[in-house]
């Protein structure tokens, strides 16, 4: 069964269930109101007539819904919409009177059991006394359908808007991530060029690591978020290049809290932070520099830090700012992924140095089902 057929079957059931409930309530109301009389209303005939009455209403309501579905209120055709429904409402009232009179004809009157209800009598009573009520019922169904249609249209526009926003955010994230590749490649090739004559073996090791890094960084199948363990594995390849380049002038220490390796982080998050720390904090030094990478969980947040013992912000401000393409792209990616639910700042360390600190929501691969 198609979804459209299922939807029609569902609403048919809803309408007739509603009509059954209204028939029972109407019968109960009439029965209770007549209980104090000498001749109370008999329950079975009363309920039977109410069911016939309301089932006719339900059947005709299905037709009203079909007419309303085909005759939609659209800009520029309000007058046509109104004229069609005025005409159909009169037909609805006439059909209601005819069908009700036909179904009830031959039954005894619940108020006067000795009287048999005839078709002509019922047609006159229903047609005259309930005409306004029938018209009100018709327009109630029309406006209920109109409200439901507007609600469905609103929900559909919301879904389309959300899908478009998601596609736009993913496109922006991919553009930001791809901007890191040429920037990273340029800096690494510069390191190779500085070693190729002085230390060919070291240059060979850098090129081997570079090929691995390029294969990983250019992999289009990578999601926007990967596990921290995978991100650290990528960072280790980059650090191999920098350790080969700086030799004894660079010391790296990691403090990774046990159990946080499964946390999801943006892909290529740590490499720009480490590159920035080495470029501005370690490279200008003549003596050995220290680099520390930390990761810990705190109050539902994943806290990441990359700390160097360089000159800090004040020492690098005279030459060039610490936040270049890599860090500005990192900030943009975090905003696109987490909205305002993140923190990213550069903080000077007492005693010298700078800490790049990031705080993002803690969630794991198992929580996301990836």
Give pLDDT tens digits for 287-314.
889 999 999 999 999 999 999 988 777 6
Indicate the pTM of the whole model: 0.53
| CA dist list (Å): 4 to 1, 8, 282 | 8, 6, 66
Q: Which percentage of the chain shows pLDDT scores above 90?
A: 16
For CA atoms 162, 165, 167, 173, the dihedral sign is negative
Burial class (CB in 10 A: 0-12, 13-18, 19+), 104: buried
Rg (CA), the chain: 38
For residues 223 and 37, give the distance between their C-alpha atoms in angstroms, rounded to a whole number: 77
For residues 113 and 46, give the distance between their C-alpha atoms in angstroms, rounded to a whole number: 11
Average pLDDT over residues 121-130: 77
296 closest CA partner among 260, 348, 268, 243: 260
SS3 assignment, position 149: helix
**For the domain bounded by 168-368, which CATH number is listed?**
3.30.565.10
For residues 134 and 100, give the distance between their C-alpha atoms in angstroms, rounded to a whole number: 12
Q: Ranked by mean pLDDT, which of 1-10, 139-148, 185-194, 205-214 comes out on top?
A: 139-148
Give pLDDT tens digits for 221-232.
677 788 999 999
Give pLDDT tens digits for 178-197.
555 565 677 677 777 877 87
Q: What is the pLDDT of residue 345?
A: 93
Of the listed ranges 6-10, 46-50, 144-148, the one predicted with least confidence: 6-10
227 closest CA partner among 267, 255, 257, 259: 267
Q: What is the pLDDT of residue 370?
A: 45
Give pLDDT tens digits for 151-168.
888 888 888 777 666 655
Average pLDDT over residues 133-146: 86
Domain boundaries, the chain: 3-129, 168-368
**Band of the pLDDT at 322, cuts 50, 70, 90?**
low
Give pLDDT tens digits for 98-114.
888 888 888 777 666 66
For CA atoms 355, 359, 365, 370, the dihedral sign is negative
């Amino acid at each position: 069964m198609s979804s459209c057929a299922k939807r029609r079957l569902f609403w048919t059931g809803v309408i007739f269930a509603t009509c059954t409930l209204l028939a029972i309530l109407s019968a109960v109301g009439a029965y209770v109101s007549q209980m104090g009389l000498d001749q109370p209303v008999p329950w079975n005939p009363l309920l039977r007539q109410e069911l016939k009455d309301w089932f006719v209403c339900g059947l005709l309501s299905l037709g009203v819904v079909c007419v309303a579905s085909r005759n939609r209120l659209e800009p520029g055709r309000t007058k046509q919409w109104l004229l069609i429904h005025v005409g159909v409402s009169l037909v609805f009232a006439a059909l209601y009177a005819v069908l009700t009179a036909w179904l009830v004809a031959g039954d005894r009157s619940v108020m006067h059991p000795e009287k048999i209800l005839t078709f002509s009598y019922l047609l006159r009573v229903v047609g005259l006394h309930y005409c306004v009520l029938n018209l009100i019922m018709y327009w109630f169904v029309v406006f209920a359908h109109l409200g439901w249609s507007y609600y469905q249209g609103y929900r559909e526009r919301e879904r389309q808007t959300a899908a478009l926003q998601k596609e736009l955010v993913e496109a922006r994230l991919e553009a930001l991530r791809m901007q890191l590749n040429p920037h990273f490649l340029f800096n690494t090739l510069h390191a190779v060029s500085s070693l190729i004559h002085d230390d060919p073996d070291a240059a060979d090791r850098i090129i081997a690591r570079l090929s691995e890094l390029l294969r990983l960084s250019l992999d289009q199948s990578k999601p926007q978020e990967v596990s921290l363990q995978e991100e650290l594995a990528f960072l280790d390849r980059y650090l191999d290049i920098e350790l080969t380049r700086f030799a004894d002038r660079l010391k790296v220490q990691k403090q990774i809290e046990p159990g946080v390796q499964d946390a999801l982080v943006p892909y290529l998050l740590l490499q720009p932070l480490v590159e920035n720390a080495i470029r501005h904090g370690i490279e200008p030094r003549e003596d050995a520099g220290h680099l520390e990478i930390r990761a810990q969980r705190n109050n539902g947040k994943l806290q990441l830090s990359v700390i160097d013992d360089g000159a800090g912000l004040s020492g690098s401000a005279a030459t060039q700012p610490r936040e270049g393409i890599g860090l500005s792209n990192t900030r943009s990616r975090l905003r696109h992924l987490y909205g305002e639910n993140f923190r990213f700042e550069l903080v000077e360390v007492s005693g010298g140095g700078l800490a790049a600190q990031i705080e993002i929501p803690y969630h794991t691969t198992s929580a996301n089902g990836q």
